[in-house]
Amino acid sequence: MIPAAFEYHAPSTIGEATALLARLGEDAKVLSGGQSLIPLMKLRLASPAHVVDINGIAGLTYIREADGFLRIGGLTRESELEESELIQTRYPLLHDTAKVIADPLVRNLATVGGNLAHGDPANDHPATMLALGAEVVAVGTKGERRLPIASFFTGPFVTSLKPDEILVEIRIPTPAARSGGAYLKLERKVGDFATAAVAAQLTLGASGACDQVGIGLTNVGLTPIKATKAEAALKGKAPDEATIKRAAELAAEASEPAADLRGSVEYKKDLVRVLTARALRKALERAGR
């Protein structure tokens, strides 16, 4: 399959890239890992007149903790996240997620920033970042903005990024003691989008109650979903089995899946319930309950 013709731009600085994007407007698409954009272009579901390849911009690939945040550079590849010792030891939810995105070959090119900026409700990192309470850093011609993830996904394949902005960093609050998370995804085969998936992150307080809870849902709505009622059912409470079950039911109620080849609406909603309960139990185990 041959994509429609386009003009290719390869800026080497963020300033050059944002100036280009500002000039080209809606006719341009940012090329990061390309593992979503290029398939769309090959199918001619996307035919941008201009492609702005940001892979030549130095300094956007890193994973480090600083000033109370885990900072992930926008061009960090999924495989780098998967292989990072820091992620493996301190951020099990992120590690769970990176391992099940597409397949190992795609993960060598796919970027964490692109997984978010694409705004696809079937992508895996949106739910993870919703559960982790992340924020994204965007840079445009007018400077830098910090965008909370909870209001980042504004519609199907639409985010709050402006046309001239590039997602340069993801910031995740470093976990307090007794924190844990898990990502559970049901997929028909490696590389398929989730039938449904659930990200759960929590922190236990001194009394054993949940001080902080985040729950995100993948591919069960027009946008990634933050299951706020399910979170509220757990917050401040001891996470006993009855409370977990109640939260799982509320997460299922928050989901708005569409029937497709992967399953019916009823099936997917029940899957959200089951996966939420399992993800919460695993997160609790990792938090060292």
Partner 1 sequence: MLVKLSINGEKHEADVEPRLLLVHMIREVLRLTGTHIGCDTTHCGACTILMDGRPVKSCTMFAVQAQGKALMTVEGLEQNDKLHPLQEGFMAEHGLQCGYCTPGMLMTSYAFLKKYPSPTEDDIRRAISGNLCRCTGYVNIVKSVQYAAAKLRG
Q: Which residues bind partner 1 (CB under 8 A)?
A: 1-8, 10, 31, 34-35, 38-39, 41-43, 51, 53, 55, 79, 102-106, 108-109, 190-191
- Residue 46 or residue 284: which is nearer to partner 1 going by CB? 46
Smallest gap, in angstroms, from Cβ of residue 144 to partner 1?
Answer: 27
Contact criterion met (CB below 8 Å) for 231 and 209: no
Element (H, E) at 274: helix 265-287
Name the β-bridge partners of 148: 135
Taking the complex as a whole, how short is the minimal distance between the CB of residue 39 and partner 1, in angstroms?
5
Name which of 51 and 220 has its Cβ closer to partner 1: 51
> Residue 78 or residue 249: which is nearer to partner 1 going by CB?
78
CB of 166 to partner 1, least distance (A): 17
Q: Which is nearer to partner 1, 39 or 133 (CB)?
A: 39
Question: Residue 51 or 93: which CB sits closer to partner 1?
Answer: 51
Of the candidates 80, 82, 62, 83, which has an alpha carbon nearest to the alpha carbon of residue 72? 62
Least distance to partner 1, CB of residue 191, Å: 6
**Residue type at 268?**
K
At its nearest, how many Å lie between partner 1 and the CB of residue 13?
17
What is the rounded distance in angstroms from the CA atom of residue 5 to the CA atom of residue 111? 24
CB of 73 to partner 1, least distance (A): 17
Whether the Cβ atoms of residue 112 and residue 136 lie closer than 8 Å to each other: no
For residue 112, the number of C-alpha atoms closer than 13 Å in the C-beta half-sphere is 33
CA distance 83 to 95: 8
Query: Of 78 and 135, which CB lies nearer to partner 1 in the complex structure?
Result: 78
Counting every residue, how long is the chain?
A: 289
Rounded Cα gap, residues 25 and 46, in angstroms: 15
Single-letter amino acid, residue 140? G
Q: Nearest CA to 137 among 128, 129, 12?
A: 129
